[in-house]
Amino acid sequence: MSAQSVLVLGAGSWGTALALALTRKQNTVYLWDINSDLIKNLKTEKTNTRYIPGIPFPENLIPVESIDQVPPETKMFVNTVPCHGLRSSLPLLKSFSDVHVCIACKGFEPGTQKFNHQVVKEELPGSSVAVLSGPSFAKEVGAGLPTAVTIAAEDIAIAQVFADLFHSDTFRVYTHNDVIGAQIGGAVKNVMAIAAGIADGLGFGSNTRSALVTRGLAEIMRLGLAMGARQETFMGLAGLGDLVLTCTDNQSRNRSLGLLLAEGLSVEDASEKIGQAIEGLKTAKEVAALAKKYEIEMPITDQVNQVLNGVIDPKQAVNVLLTREPRSELS
């Protein structure tokens, strides 16, 4: 694919990292954020000192305060705005024609539990939509460290268009058409990472973390299959790969939230200390609602949700999980 004009919505750590990845394919990348002061700082400093410091912007990464500064013929868009703001960000793209959107946020629409690709289809009828997921910390992607991700779309040709846009020597992209599975894996793993952080913060050890990761994968697969996903998706990058990374490395904001909750901080204080969007916070409520709707047993999700709502404390939540009645592992 020849170099393209690309607009990235959201200039947090993830949006900036993906913008940097796109520049390595010689694309001209425009980076927008609702926070105009942040954009002004990016233009002045030529790096994102707040979210992903130390990585200079190349000449083909252009922060913009207004969508009007983006060439009107642009067709490729990457949206990293958190799920709760996704719908409100999409009207910005209505002035463009032949819109191709790659969604890079992980979660569900708050209150509706709609998938992100469904939200895009509702707001931008006729657009082509893909989702990007997989084990990928922003700082490492921004620094150009080797990373592998999945891009999924109902139309595999659209997934391949975005794969060609992103794929480089350090950013390897795999494709498939299980857009439901890719989104469920990317969303629910954040809830599991909060649980893993809580367990580690309480000093329960590596055995407990391994159990949480394994049973967390079982919950993800259970919900995914009920909602029409394919089982093999959850053994790939958007499932097991993302789950293991997020549950085991302190670069994960969701895991970090769990660690801070285990220390006794409130959800509000822990969130303020982390200082960036924590997708699992809102996702836990939506996943619990989906579990109820589809009559799926998701005990880890249930306990995390209760902790976040202040119903029980972190230690009680882990004890509840560990003292559940024995059952068949495969049922």
Q: Hey, which residues does 129 pair with through a beta bridge?
A: 101
What count of other Cβ atoms lies within 10 Å of the Cβ of residue 124? 18
With 0-12 / 13-18 / 19 or more C-beta atoms within 10 angstroms meaning exposed / middle / buried, residue 325 is exposed
Query: What is the distance between the terminal CA atoms of the chain, rounded to a whole angstrom?
Result: 46
From 189, 285, 293, 315, active-site residue: 189
| Strand intervals (E) in 57-125 | 61-64, 76-79, 100-103
- Alpha-carbon gap, residue 233 to 237, rounded angstroms: 8
Q: Is 64 helix (H, G, I), strand (E, B) or coil?
A: strand
Query: Of 318, 331, 134, nearest to 218 (Cα)?
Result: 331
Report the DSSP beta bridge partners of residue 253.
none
- 28-32 vs 5-9, strand pairing mode: parallel
The residues near 250 (Cβ < 8 Å, ≥ 6 apart) are 256, 259
139 as an active site residue: the answer is no
> d(Cα 284, Cα 49) in Å, to the nearest integer?
30
Mapping DSSP onto H, E and C, the string for 212-279 reads HHHHHHHHHHHHHHHCCCCHHHHHCHHHHHHHHHHHHCCCCHHHHHHHHHHCCCCHHHHHHHHCCCCH
Catalytic residues: 189
